[in-house]
Amino acid sequence: MEIDGGQHLDPATAWADMRRQNDLWQYGDRVLRFPAWAIRQSPGEVVHQLRAALLAAGWRPTSTP
């Protein structure tokens, strides 16, 4: 998971982020990216996407007693 702040709108920074993400994908790693405002404004949606990605990757939550 990466959280992008305002500096990620700069074209050079955005390209560095994309290049890093492309490199990770080549090795089978996945990165979910969220803008900082989504963490503050829609935390439930962020958690939903994180949970869905973890489940798709094979994670199975354990129930707590």
Cite the DSSP H helix spans in 1-65: 11-26, 36-41, 43-56
CB atoms within 10 A of CB 49: 15
Give pLDDT tens digits along the chain (65 positions): 999 888 878 899 889 999 999 999 999 898 999 999 999 999 999 999 999 999 999 999 987 65
- Look at residue 5 in the predicted model and tell me its pLDDT: 86
Q: What is the pTM of this model?
A: 0.76
- Look at residue 7 in the predicted model and tell me its pLDDT: 82
- Look at residue 9 in the predicted model and tell me its pLDDT: 80
- Look at residue 64 in the predicted model and tell me its pLDDT: 64
Between the CA atoms of 20, 26, 30 and 33, what dihedral angle is there, to the nearest 10 degrees? Answer: 30
